[in-house]
Amino acid sequence: MSDVSGSELRALMARVPSVEKVMASAQFAPLVNEYGRAQVLGAVRDTLDSWRSNAQAGEASVSALDVGQLHASVEAALRRRNQSRLRSVFNLTGTVLHTNLGRALLPDEAVQAVVKALTQPANLEFDLETGKRGDRDDLIDELICELTGAEAATVVNNNAAAVLLTLSALASKKEVVVSRGELVEIGGAFRIPDIMSRAGARLREVGTTNRTHLKDYEEAIGPQTALLMKVHASNYAIHGFTSEVGLDEIASLAHARGLAVAMDLGSGTLVDLSEWGLPREQTVRETIEAGADLVTFSGDKLLGGPQAGLIVGRRDLIAKIKKHPLKRALRVGKLTLAALEPVLRLYRAPEKLAERLTTLRLLTRAADDIRLAAERVQPALQRALGERYAVVAEPMLSQIGSGALPVDVLPSYGLVVRMAHGKRGGRHLLGVEKVLREMARPVIGRIADDALCLDLRCLEAADEAQLIGQLSGPLSGPLSG
């Protein structure tokens, strides 16, 4: 605090330019042009107000305000205010399909298709052969059937919507038989029993948490039964004394009683991932071959596409689902369809998939390749953080994410930040985590075992250059001092 005397203060105040003069100045015209008059006026007023109150409080930093300074702070305030709230980040969490960071990244083919769909009219619901109204599912259902072996398909907003719609259309006011071992919760809001009641269906739980037998299903079937359902356990595993009835057996039982079986597969894989050394997941085709009449799965998990829920299966059941009024409420927009189609088409050349499908490319990236990236980024991060911290390239384990088992880990590499000289990290590491998170393009890592871990699996070449550039610029926050 400096002591600003009354007369000094008055002199300072007298030199503050008037709002009208500022707004009329040539220097502010480009800002008015970009942001509009009202926003610039508001920012000028705010900036002048806070300068005045700082001056009155006698802050040492306050000196005479010139128009150049005012322009710089107004411009910065406007830029902050108009920055997109949805920001690109660096996903260094080690979780490839991170639900909170937007899950699958899409290949360029999908990006180009979305740009076109955004900027040009398209035959979304227009039959180019007849000139009559069309059905948006027609754009994509043949391709989905080709890749899954299903008779018919439809697409909705996400897999939660797919399950909700399936149950509403086929089991409203009726019973759905599900094993107690499969009553899962996925990411907080999606719980099978809740979706079931929202869909107006009655859950008929059978078996126990760890063991369910075919006779449990048999005994549960009655006149009220509409559907037998199986749910992929996705994010948890039960070990030990367990028993689960295979889909094929449930399907035989259901079909013998004239009932249908639905499988919520979660992460719909279209190819056998073990061919690329990844954990094996039952594919959608295999699920249909095992007897499922309907299969629901996500578009943005292992499939590697946009957020969507796909429902595939028997033609008559899909027709019924498409007629349900909820289908209209849960349908996808043109951007989703535009992005999904080219992603699905990549599956026609499986031998190129690991190169072309971003999700698979990231999941199959060799640990050695990631190690080289870690060694290239290490000096920039070490320099940015300074001598108080030790930045070391180390092996670590990535996760697939989004409902793939947490026990299925992928050997990876990354940078580990600890306090130098074996000191405990504690709040200092939290400080580093925060500084990285507040960068122009936020860097998202994870704290574990008194260290900040940055897994570089998802840092591809262009991003690597950008990260190194960003780390070489000025840091904000507690580390910069």
Q: How many CA atoms lie within 13 A of 199 on its CB side?
A: 30
Among 266, 304, 401, 425, binds ligand PLP (CB under 6 A): 266
Q: Closest CB to ligand PLP among 159 and 225?
A: 159
User: One symbol per residue from 35 to 54: x for binding ligand PLP (CB under 6 A), - otherwise; what is it?
Assistant: --------------------
Q: Of 148 and 298, which CB lies nearer to ligand PLP in the complex structure?
A: 298
What are the backbone angles phi and psi of residue 236, rounded to the nearest 5°? -150, 160
User: Between residues 178 and 429, which has the closer beta carbon with respect to ligand PLP?
Assistant: 178
The only residue of 113, 171, 231, 247 in contact with ligand PLP, by rule CB under 6 A: 231
**Residue 309 engages ligand PLP in binding (rule: CB under 6 A):** yes
CB of 343 vs ligand PLP, minimal distance in Å = 15
95 scored as a contact of ligand PLP (CB under 6 A): no
Question: Between 228 and 467, whose beta carbon lies closer to ligand PLP?
Answer: 228
Q: Which residue has the CB atom at the shortest distance from ligand PLP?
A: 266
Q: Does 190 bind ligand PLP (CB under 6 A)?
A: yes
232 binds ligand PLP (CB under 6 A): yes
CB of 196 to ligand PLP, least distance (A): 12
Diameter of the chain by CA atoms? Answer: 97
CA distance 320 to 226: 14
Residue 133: exposed, middle, or buried by beta-carbon count in 10 A (0-12, 13-18, 19+)? exposed
Q: Which of 424, 466, 427 is nearest to 443 (CA)?
A: 466
Using CB under 6 A as the binding criterion, the count of chain residues that bind ligand PLP stands at 14
Binding range to ligand PLP, per CB under 6 A, among 67-75, 263-271, 355-363, 462-470: 263-271
**Pairing label, strands 451-455, 409-419:** antiparallel
Q: Smallest distance from the beta carbon of 287 to ligand PLP, in angstroms?
A: 12
In the complex with ligand PLP, which residue's Cβ is closer, 299 or 445?
Answer: 299
Using CB under 6 A, pick the residue from 93, 95, 154, 158 that binds ligand PLP. 158
- Beta-bridge partner residues of 154: 311
Characterize the bridge pairing of strands 185-186 and 190-191. antiparallel
- Tell me if 287 contacts ligand PLP by CB under 6 A: no
Residue of 205, 264, 281, 455 interacting with ligand PLP (CB under 6 A): 264
Minimum distance of ligand PLP from residue 190's CB (angstroms)? 5
Neighbouring residues of 155: CB distance < 8 A, sequence distance ≥ 6: 137, 140, 144, 299, 308, 309, 310, 311, 331, 332, 336, 337, 340
CA dihedral sign, ordered 383, 388, 391, 392: positive
Question: Which residue stretch of 144-152, 227-235, 241-249, 438-446 sits at the interface with ligand PLP (rule: CB under 6 A)?
Answer: 227-235
Does 159 bind ligand PLP (CB under 6 A)? Our answer is yes
> CB-wise, 135 or 194, nearer to ligand PLP?
194
Q: For residues 219 and 258, what is the distance between their CA atoms, to the nearest angstrom?
A: 15
Q: Which is nearer to ligand PLP, 266 or 425 (CB)?
A: 266
Q: Which of 84, 90, 22, 89 is nearest to 51 (CA)?
A: 22
Nearest approach, Cβ of residue 273 and ligand PLP (Å): 15
CA distance 49 to 60: 17
Indicate the residue among 299 and 414 with the shorter CB distance to ligand PLP: 299
Q: Rounded to the nearest whole angstrom, what is the least distance from the CB of residue 317 to ligand PLP in the complex? A: 18
The CA–CA distances, whole Å, from 167 to 128, 264, 362 equal 33, 11, 34
Near ligand PLP by CB under 6 A, which window of 67-75, 140-148, 208-216, 261-269? Answer: 261-269
CA atoms of 245 and 99, how far apart (whole Å): 30
Residue list 378-397, contact with ligand PLP (CB under 6 A): none
The reply to whether 302 sits near ligand PLP by the rule CB under 6 A is: no
Buried b / exposed e along 408-422 (16+ C-beta atoms within 10 A)? eebebbbbbbbbeee
Q: Contact between 332 and ligand PLP (CB under 6 A)?
A: no
CB 292 within 8 A of CB 166: no
| Least separation in angstroms between CB 267 and ligand PLP | 6
- Report the alpha-carbon distance of residue 427 to residue 477 in Å, rounded: 14
Site membership for ligand PLP, residue 336 (CB under 6 A) = no
Record the tokens describing residue 231, joined without a space. 């749910």
- Examine residue 291 and tell whether it contacts ligand PLP (CB under 6 A): no
**Contact between 160 and ligand PLP per CB under 6 A:** yes
Residue ranges in contact with ligand PLP by CB under 6 A: 158-160, 186, 190, 231-232, 234, 264, 266-267, 298, 309, 403
